[in-house]
Amino acid sequence: MLDRAHSPSRTVTPVKPPQLDIALTDPGREFRMPVPTLAEWVVANSSRMDVARAAYSKRRAAA
């Protein structure tokens, strides 16, 4: 997915063995900004998500 969005850049150096350097592009670096906030939200809300998953599974089993 990130590759299709041109987030990483790749530079191949023709040596033996081949060397491949991968770096984030500007869009890739910008994507890193919201990730810590999202991770904090996931940690803070994990119990709510567990309850929601259990309720969903119970409804699916009853159907």
pLDDT tops 70 at residue 2? no
What percent of the chain stands above pLDDT 90?
A: 56
Q: Which amino acid belongs to residue 34?
A: P
- Domain that residue 23 falls in: 1-28
Looking at the structure, do residues 37 and 18 belong to the same domain, yes or no? no
Q: What is the pTM of this model?
A: 0.52
Using alpha carbons only, how large is the chain's radius of gyration in Å?
Answer: 20
State whether 63 and 41 are in the same domain. Answer: yes
Whole-number percent of the chain with pLDDT over 70: 89
The string of pLDDT tens digits covering residues 21-38 is 989 888 888 888 999 999
State how many domains the chain has.
2
Once rounded to an integer, what is the mean pLDDT over residues 45-53?
97
- 3-state secondary structure at position 26: helix
Question: Which whole-number Å values give the CA distances from 53 to 39, 42, 61, in the listed order?
Answer: 18, 14, 12
